[in-house]
Amino acid sequence: MNEPLESNNPVETPIETSAEKKAALTKNRRKLVFLFAIAIVPMFVAYGLFFYFPDLIPASTTNEGVLIQPPLSGVTLGLIEPVVEPRGVWTMLIPVAATCSEQCQQRLYLSRQIKIGLGKDADRIERIALLSIDPSTELQALLAAEHGDLTAQVFSSQALQSALQRRLPGATGAEYLLLMDPNGNIMMFYSFEKIGAPLRKDIKHLLKISNIG
């Protein structure tokens, strides 16, 4: 039986047209946009839920501090310069009297330990001591010796208290701490008993979901 002769003619391969190349490129771009959306959109959704729609979050994941709605403006209160773009850091605002009481010193200590405990994320948060009048000699010595990273900022205690009372009528007492986002919005209030593990929990959660600081 004669075997069929193999053809010496080369096998023709289809030539990809420019239209097909363009279609393939468009398809690849859509895949990249889709993958980017999967990574980024959940962070924006989580951020929005955490601050603007906390009632929609399951009780087990709600924030520990009290949400300030609407947020106070750090610029309006004279705590920071006008923000053109996110400052890149979250800020713990700590009102400090001229003579810092034992609870006042405890707030400073706990805020420092929280920052240290963040490890590689410690540079994503800063601490500002809010002073309504010049600090005493003892307070100056305390801040210099134990809180070298702390920035002191003179502010109007009356203006801040008045703004807080309009947002949070039940927020009383001087031993509290405020949390400000990278856009200069003061949005969380922590009473003295929440400054510690509860505050640390909120900050770690915020740093995890935030892409602006």
Question: Which pLDDT tens digit goes with each residue over 7-55?
Answer: 455 544 455 567 777 777 777 777 767 766 675 656 555 556 555 555 5
Q: Are 198 and 65 in contact (CB under 8 A)?
A: yes
Predicted confidence at residue 16, as pLDDT, reads: 55
Give the model's confidence band at 147: pLDDT under 50 very low, under 70 low, under 90 confident, else very high: very high
Question: Which run of H or of E encompasses 187?
Answer: strand 185-191
Predicted confidence at residue 22, as pLDDT, reads: 73
Dihedral angle of Cα 30, 32, 36, 41, to the nearest 10 degrees: 10
Predicted confidence at residue 133, as pLDDT, reads: 85
Name the residue ranges covered by the structural domains of the chain. 17-62, 64-209
Predicted confidence at residue 59, as pLDDT, reads: 44
> CATH assignment of 64-209?
3.40.30.10
Give the model's confidence band at 213: pLDDT under 50 very low, under 70 low, under 90 confident, else very high: low
Residue in the block written with tokens 């979250």: 90
- Written as six digits, the tokens of 164 are 């807080």
Angstrom distances, CA of residue 185 to CA of 22, 52, 93, 179, 201? 45, 13, 11, 8, 19
Neighbour-count burial of 159, counting CB atoms closer than 10 A to its CB (0-12 exposed, 13-18 middle, 19+ buried): middle
In this prediction, residues 136-155 reach a mean pLDDT of 91
Q: Is the pLDDT of residue 157 over 90?
A: no
Q: Is the pLDDT of residue 203 over 50?
A: yes
